[in-house]
Structure 1
């Protein structure tokens, strides 16, 4: 039985692992694919030190992103309510619906910060009124805002 080889991945490989993971693979796989294509490096103390340094930087970056998301969540809560104006029929029913793009636009006007519309979860809005909207700012931070739909 052939001896397995330990390598450090330089990029994510679907069936093997993520960037920076230490994996054990067959020597032929390492020699014929991973090493020549620059997808992995042999495990050495210097490489392990680089991996640890990269992981520390990644953790710092993630913490900074989370702090930024928490600050934005606080800003959204401070503003309190966002208003979207839509055309309404005689019976109080909207022409069309309120989309996540409409909400993103209202938030951008109020906060002057761009927000990805795909992170906004909109309930079914077909009439004038107040609604709760969820916004995923970070994989650990979700903000809930009040949305007021009014006619113009």
Structure 2
């Protein structure tokens, strides 16, 4: 199935890319979530407009991404989890939205939860590294401290 991506899809492509995917992946994941549209002649003409806008945005965003990465450098982020057992295991897990809220409350910039990449489910108290993908060329690593309330 030939699709045009409308959003950034990890391990597949960026907005405006024309990709060939299996029918089920396109029908069941990409199209319902509006991450892609079916590639038609009219849609392919729109790809040029999407790419032009993306190029203009990338140049402007690269400097801004480096600036935001600089703000994240020395930030001490603490995420307060609801509850934990005696061994330090959480009753639930820390989500990307929790990390973004903690960054904002620690005096950091306002981020989208989709730029935060958790290594796996964070289900224990302690320090955990978290990657923040601000731009395709700029990724910042942040250590968060998870504590139980």
Q: Deviations over 1:15-44 (max 9, x none)?
A: 665316xxxxxxxxxxxxxxxxxxxxxxxx
1:82 and 2:111 aligned: no
SS in 1 for 2:141: strand
Which residue does 1:117 correspond to in 2?
Answer: 113
Q: 1:112 to 1:135 in 2, by over 3 A?
A: closer
Number of residue pairs the alignment of both structures matches? 107
Task: Extract unaligned runs of 5+ from structure 2.
Answer: 1-15, 17-37
Greater CA radius of gyration, 1 or 2?
1
SS in 1 for 2:122: coil
Instruction: Give the Cα separation in 1 of the matches to 2:55 and 2:94.
Output: 37
Instruction: Give the Cα separation in 1 of the matches to 2:117 and 2:57.
Output: 26
Instruction: Give the Cα separation in 1 of the matches to 2:77 and 2:141.
Output: 11
Instruction: Give the Cα separation in 2 of the matches to 1:112 and 1:134.
Output: 15
TM-score, with normalisation over the residues of structure 1?
Answer: 0.60
More strand by share: 2
- Tell me which stretches of 4 or more aligned residues in structure 1 moved more than 6 Å: none
Which residue does 2:48 correspond to in 1?
Answer: 19
Q: Say what the alpha-carbon RMSD is for the aligned residues.
A: 2.6
Which residue does 1:141 correspond to in 2?
Answer: 138
